[in-house]
Amino acid sequence: SQLCLDNSNTLVTALDEVHQLGFGSFRVMSPLFPIFTHPQVGYQLDELPHAAQIKANLATVKLRKEQYDLRLSFHPDQFTLLSSPRPEVTAASLQELTYQAQLAEMIGADVINIHGGGVYGDKQSALSRLVKEISALPEPIRSRLTLENDDRSYTVEDLLPVCEQLDIPLVYDVHHHRCNPDGLTVAAATEACMRSWRRLGREPYFH
């Protein structure tokens, strides 16, 4: 409870500093509430002794976000995999996304960004599982979810058809693209990313 309170205090301070530095966006750390989704020792916010203070801090974060015109996002850790062939991995990933969507709702974050995950020896089957799991996501997660190309498994070309099929945006990471290139130039990938956001009436987002 004390860790969560300290983290929520620090998040308010961080937004003040980000604003002073002139940045327009900020990625909130995923473990803001440590071990929140742990299968044995996880918890809910209302169970914490400092719950009221923590909620007040998160409400302040949302006010700061609006006051400073900041864009807030989450990038779940690498173990959040919706393309895994293992049901227990998918279930744990859904719990993590649910937690981050709860936080996003409380602070006004509009992006929860994930990678495609592993290939598991069959990229097309993995992509099919990814599409199936994203299609079934609850609206608080689905409305914020974005896909990002990575430096090993999934390129922009791999993910664009998924984004178009599911009407979710692509977050283009140019550094990953240089490590894991495809048939697209940087300019073409940038434009594709922008289209994926604009067709949904949203401002593009890049790494």
- Give 74's strand partners: 28, 112
Please tell me the predicted confidence (pLDDT) of residue 78.
84
Distance CA 13, CA 64 (A): 10
Over its length of 207 residues, how does the chain's per-residue pLDDT go in tens digits? 999 999 999 999 999 999 999 999 999 998 999 999 999 999 999 999 999 999 999 999 999 999 999 999 999 988 899 999 999 999 999 999 999 999 999 999 999 999 999 999 999 999 999 999 999 999 999 999 999 999 999 999 999 999 999 999 999 999 999 999 999 999 999 999 999 999 999 999 999
- Chain position carrying tokens 């300019």: 187
- Give 115's strand partners: 148
Distance CA 166, CA 200 (A): 11
Please tell me the predicted confidence (pLDDT) of residue 103.
97
Q: Which amino acid is at 190?
A: T
| Beta carbons within 8 Å of 66's beta carbon, 6+ residues apart | 108
* Assigned token pair, 43: 């918890």
